[in-house]
A and B are shown apart, each in its own frame.
Chain A
Amino acid sequence: MRVVIVGGGIAAVYLANNLKKHDSSLEVTIVSDEEYPPYDRIHLCRLVDSSEDTSRISLVLDPSVKLELGQKIEKIDKQSKRIFSNNSVFSYDKLILATGSLPVSLFNIEGIKNAAVFRSAKDCEIIKKGVKNREVVVVGSGPIGLELLETLNEMPYVSDITLLIRGTHLYDKNLSIDSIKTIEQCYLQSGKIKISYEDEIVDTVVQEGVIKLLKTKKLEIKNPFLVFGTGIKPNIENFRDTLECNKGVLTNLYMQTEDENIYAVGECAEVKELGFIAGHVKECTLQADCAISHLLQTDIKAFKQEVSIDMLKVGEFDLVEVNSAQFTDDYEKILISSKENKRIDEYFMHEDKLVRFIGINSNVDVGYIEGLINSGEAVDINYLYENRLIGERGRLICSCEHMYHQDLVDIVTQTGISSFGELSDFSQAGRVCGRCKIMVADVIKDAQQFIDPKMPRKSVQDIQNEKEIAAVRKRIDKFNTLHPRNNLTTENLDSAMESLDIAKHEINSWISMVTADMQLHPNFEEVVQESVKSLNKVPIIWLELSDCSGNSEAFIKSTNPAIEDLIFDYISLDYHELLMSASGDQSETILEDIIQHQKGEYVLIVEGAVPLAMEGKYLRIGPKGETGIELLKKCAQDAALVIAVGSCALDGGVVAAYPNPTGAVGVAQALGRKDIINIPGCPTNPTNIVGTLLSYIMFEELPALDKFNRPLWAYEGRVHDNCERRGHYELGEFVKEWGDSGAKKGFCLFEMGCKGPYANVNCPTMKFNSGTSWPVQAGHGCMGCTEIGFFDKFANERKYVEEKNNA
């Protein structure tokens, strides 16, 4: 699929990178009217004062994304799915508009040399050159204007700056007078800046493309340089004819425009239902996620406004704002201020609930404020007062990553990093929107003194592991408190193990094996052991449908030590037709009991295909003659987790092989669900079942899965790549017929139709029957039994390619 993104800012890059991340086969092109590769506008000030150049503020783009620069899109042809610039045509399957916004100037400044807007790298060039030896006039007191003002203030060859403000406020009209005064003082200190309130441009004298004289209500300025830091408007003029627009291009909650193949994201889009246009990076990335999910039709999510956090650091003051979608002019304000510390906290309340917060030099825990707004609970004013002083973690430095001062110091002292660059291994603080980068760098610098020179340096991995282990441990504790039903203690499990004569070192070696196989750090062993003990508390229903019991057989034969047997046969396997003592009505009672009383707690393991032909009647189970599909649905409905074990449960396996006489399908298809974990194999290696259950318990979430919902830890590696005979393949040493000299020497079985190159599973390392052997070791080769449709494709002793050619 070809996706074309129009735009050159953070939204466009975020879209492109994340599309590629979800599906690397997509062909993604960014078409931008800029001369430079996409960069981060937040850092534009650095271009003005020359502290950075564009390459330094450019955004990281996936190298496989195609980039077309200097292409201004003038027309969209919805029918032929093409877009046109003045010299090129791009065709698309899906188009995403992320053109952002245009700055607004109060009059047309085209052709005027000493006036500029402040939106692009090009604007910065103009400003940089133009401000020399001129009195600078900045129009607008919003965040952009204020930041520019600060930048100009620091530049040595700028001596006079005038800020024109139509109203009487700085930053935001809802700010209190105290706050405005505090901000104002910071600017006025240097003596370079004049602020003219309730003022606006009334006339200009222009000669030869130069404003010679600027007249405002209150002032007359000769030979000025004029910068508009005022408002912005959606950059959509060229799309108005083709797409339904209001202020922005109108979209639904999935950011889809009236044309199903065109999406719009970020400042150029207007969500019709909400009448909302994005203004913050966070909102743009949220919208991008929604658009991607809808475009790829995976985990589709609708756009919803979230609480945004903005920070502004200018000179001596810093400002933080936490804003919710619920904020309107209908508010009451609570002000907590300290003149001495130049600190002002403004709480905007609506019906006792917090809807917005603005703090100047504030100490409050912004994460707490965000939580308060999100929770929508009534606010305790006393607490707000108590909260005014710096919390344990210090001041919030990075609002995107929720990184507080102390967190950063901790990273520095634990890892010994010395620069902002090194931080990226441990935290993305300062890198998400980038505003706080300098503050982050300063903290790192100041914290150097706390580093213990004798401290052993921890790697990224170490720190990550420590964090994960702590989190997993917490979950196990929680799990144990939530599932007290069985009263199983460490002691009685231990004694059970002893009575089965499983020596301690055997358990340990088994645990090491599982830990390693799940690709966890060795530090996890202890945690795995704890989880093994927790596992016995999860009720498990094992259903056999259209099957051969091969997976059950494999399961009870599993490995040595027979710890799985212990866990499953003795402790938690509550319903399993092959093993349970109860039959008929008694077994039905067990099943009903689990389904009724342990909703959302039990794990359902399904073995076998689901025959759907003849109304599912090819399989009947139980006294009432329920069909397999009826029973499956009943058991799956309230299961915490459904695991399809074996190839038949994946896609019908052998039962669904051509011509599929009983209309058999896999579990996921039968249930019409996408969240079924598949652990295929004919039979499945029991270690992979146990490992998946353990990982579910430890992380309380499904393990990472591939596109067939197979756990990556077990199904990521290709059989061919990990095969013990791979060396012979490389040397061209092949078995040519069964039992020949090559077979006796263990040569490669590719010529004998081994399907290892087409199969993904951990057989070469796990092997079967306590590591005794596996099909390749037995001289036969792999038949790809973990793959979709393997019986019709791979289950033979001929090379796969030949088969294809014959067909």
Chain B
Amino acid sequence: MRKVVIDPIARIEGHLRAEVEVDKNGVVQEAYVSGQLFRGIEIILKGRDPRDAGLLAGRICGVCTNSHFRGAVSCVEDAYALKIPKNAEIVRDLMAMALFIQDHVVHFYHLHSLDFVDVTSALNANPKLTSKEAHKYSKNPFRNSNTHYEEVLAKLQNFVKAGKLGPFSNGYWGHVDYKLTPEQNLIVISHYLEALKFQTKISKAVAIFGGKTPHPQSIVVGGVTSVADMLNPQRLNDYLFIIKEAKEFIDRAYLPDMKLITSAYKAEIKAGAGRANGNFLSVGGYEFEGEQRLFCNGVIYAHDFENIEEFDETKVTEEIDRAWYSGDAKENEVCYTDLNADGSLKTAKNDDKYSWVKAPRYDGKPMETGPLARVLVSYAKDNTLIKSFVDEFLQETELELIDLSTTVGRNCARAIETSYICEYIFKLVSRLIQNIKYYDTDTWVRFDFNTLEKDAKGRAFLEVPRGVLSHFVNIKNQKIDNFSVIAPTTWNATPKNFDGVRGAYEEALVGIKIEDTSKPLEVLRVLHSFDPCLACAVHIIDTKGKELSRYRIKTL
């Protein structure tokens, strides 16, 4: 058994390390993933005015930035039972949905695609054939002229000639696990470059209502502040046109590219490469007409799509058996046991601690959360808003639902989700326009902070790009007494407990074959498919208030 250490894992947010133990054939037998940075944002939140939680908690992550901002403000609103105006909800949703689109596109192209795409192979592509190839995955491929591909090629060649690959340097180029043809590689690289421009444009959509992104600044307890933008027809118009342009790219580049990669990696998909434990969690959300929601809530165990349970908040617990925290209700909650002298994780004993990420469990089980969970839960619950999108994709790629629970499948789910979000965002804007048309311009619910209850507890469960995000707050005497966050990556990157049961990352790694342990491309591919966000993931557990809000947070 050999140990392979990968640190830093690049192309993710934050400081993630992976250690895998492989047998003589290079097949992973055991895996440990570890968050390597602790900041203690919850400790910093203690003792502050609850109204300030949003601006501070927003800084949990610069990638999922408005998610935490909104999560923190929402849990405070929940504590005070403030019902915010419809318009404010919609404006928050519009910012969130633009973020979904932006995050998913940046994730696939800039953070993940290089695990599938060999930049150097693209140099051998024939532009004419490339153009033809693209038509296999889309009726109307994005920027598909010969001359365009020639230009991209010339540019790549210039970089290679200049010996200057920038962020492309030292990739695992030429690795046997790169399966695309030169032409296919060139298609995705072309879109990689397009996506750079794409993501600057889509970020403007967030900024229209948020003031800026990352770290928007327009959400306040009780509503939103960007009322002047909301009432300005030009701003709404700008927002719509940005989304419209985005939809072009999603439908003609992103989704077709996923189909392309699916066809190239069909064998891996069918073999279930990168499949985790099959436990999925979605809390649902994003209200449309009436009670209908874009995402359904639900829990799936062991890929059983027939028997879906309703999500029950009280079944969420947090554990720290093997995370660097102490179970004692002492002042110092941190319990760092260090690395081994050679810099590797301490994992020899089944109670060795090895990560700053704590271990959330649902009904005692580790769960997978994210676009895949949302798609599976919503699809299995017959959500009419999304079903046709999923069916179409599965049909065209000749996949079954279970195939999505793989490394490549996670990306498919993300692309499908992006596509239908683009579609439904227009409906959301029409709802906003309807409200304004009938003189509902409220964006804030009035309250007097000093007459609110002095002591209160609140929570917020949100679906955000990477999965389920929950914020909990406990307010005493108008100040935050306790704050706790469980982010999507906390679920997916969870360490083991004493029982040794693996979380989603670790389980997905076990069983994959690493062709060349000095170039562990396969490991990166699995981890990237979850879209890790480590700054989000690391949160201190609440050890003193074991009952956080109305929800039992179990600690040992």
The residues of A with any CB-CB pair to B shorter than 8 Å are 486-488, 492, 495-496, 498-501, 544, 546-554, 556-560, 562, 565, 569-574, 576-587, 589-590, 609, 611, 614, 617-626, 628, 653-655, 657-662, 664, 682-683, 737-739, 743-746, 767-770, 772-780, 783, 791, 795-797
Contact = CB atoms under 8 A, between A and B. Distances in A.
A554 B61 CA distance: 12
A584 B7 contact: yes
Interface stretch (B36-44, B295-303, B424-432, B452-460): B36-44
Given A582-B171, A738-B222, A488 B207 contact: no
Contacts of A778: 209-212, 216-218, 225-226, 229
A487 B229 contact: no
Contacts of A628: 37
A657 B518 CA distance: 41
Contacts of B14: 544, 549
A510 to B, nearest CB: 12
A746 B338 contact: no
B7 A582 contact: no
Contacts of A737: 444, 446
A550 B65 CA distance: 8
24 contacts: A496-B158, A498-B151, A499-B151, A500-B196, A544-B14, A548-B62, A549-B61, A554-B214, A565-B197, A569-B166, A619-B37, A622-B343, A623-B5, A658-B47, A739-B225, A743-B228, A743-B443, A768-B211, A772-B204, A778-B209, A778-B217, A779-B224, A795-B52, A796-B51
A558 B519 CA distance: 33
A384 B9 CA distance: 66
Nearest to B210: A778
Bin chain B's interface residue count: 35 or more
Contacts of A738: 220, 222-225, 227, 443-444
B133 interface: no
A779 B215 contact: no
Contacts of B535: 547-549
A583 B519 CA distance: 9
Contact of A777 (B229, B339, B520): B229
B388 interface: no
Interface in B391-422: none
B139 interface: no
B56 interface: yes
Contacts of B209: 778
Contacts of B241: none
| Residue of A486, A658, A661, A739 most packed against chain B (CB within 10 A) | A739
A743 B334 CA distance: 44
B61 A548 contact: yes
A581 B167 contact: yes
B193 interface: yes
7 residue pairs, one from A and one from B, having the closest CB atoms: A550-B62, A778-B211, A625-B343, A768-B212, A581-B171, A661-B40, A779-B225
Interface string B151-186: 110110011011110111111100000000000000
A495 B154 contact: yes
B229 A570 contact: no
Interface in B285-330: none
A773 B336 contact: no
Contacts of B158: 492, 495-496
A553 B63 contact: yes
Contacts of B15: 544, 619-621
B203 to A, nearest CB: 4
B38 A662 contact: yes
| Residue of A586, A609, A625 most packed against chain B (CB within 10 A) | A625
B380 interface: no
Interface in B1-54: 5-15, 17, 36-41, 43-44, 47, 49, 51-52
B170 A619 contact: no
Contacts, number: 337
B300 to A, nearest CB: 31
A757 to B, nearest CB: 17
A590 B162 contact: no
A487 B162 CA distance: 5
Given A548-B535, A570-B166, 14 more contacts: A486-B163, A496-B158, A499-B151, A549-B63, A549-B535, A556-B106, A565-B196, A581-B119, A625-B343, A683-B214, A739-B442, A743-B225, A773-B210, A780-B218
Nearest to B5: A623
Nearest to B211: A778
A573 B110 CA distance: 14
A413 to B, nearest CB: 47
B62 A547 contact: yes
A495 B229 contact: no
Nearest to A776: B211
B94 to A, nearest CB: 13
A800 to B, nearest CB: 13
Given A495-B158, A499-B154, A590-B169, A745 B228 contact: yes
Contacts of B10: 577-583, 587
B344 interface: yes
B217 A775 contact: yes
Given A548-B62, A772-B207, A795-B55, A618 B38 contact: yes
A624 B519 CA distance: 17
Contacts of B206: 769
B452 to A, nearest CB: 15
Given A621-B7, A739-B442, A500 B197 contact: yes
A619 B36 contact: yes
Nearest to B171: A581
Contacts of B49: 796
B383 interface: no
B164 A488 contact: yes
A549 B7 contact: no
Given A495-B154, A550-B215, A769-B207, A556 B199 contact: yes
Contacts of B222: 738
B62 A552 contact: yes
A772 B225 contact: no
B479 interface: no
A739 B223 contact: yes
A625 B211 contact: no
A553 B214 contact: yes
Interface in B220-275: 220, 222-229, 231
Contacts of B211: 768, 773-780
A773 B229 contact: yes
Contact of B336 (A617, A683, A743): A617
Given A486-B162, A617-B338, A797-B220, A580 B11 contact: yes
A549 B110 CA distance: 14
B464 interface: no
A581 B334 CA distance: 33
A658 B7 CA distance: 31
A624 B343 contact: yes
B59 interface: yes
B36 A620 contact: yes
B170 A582 contact: yes
B85 to A, nearest CB: 8
B65 to A, nearest CB: 6
A795 B218 CA distance: 13
Contacts of B44: 654-655, 657-661, 791
A737 B447 CA distance: 10
A716 to B, nearest CB: 21
B357 interface: no
B37 to A, nearest CB: 5
Contact of A590 (B63, B170, B343, B524): B170
B365 interface: no
A579 B158 CA distance: 20
B11 A570 contact: no
| Residue of B44, B59, B172 most packed against chain A (CB within 10 A) | B59
B342 interface: yes
Nearest to A497: B155
B63 A783 contact: no
A501 B196 CA distance: 12
B138 interface: no
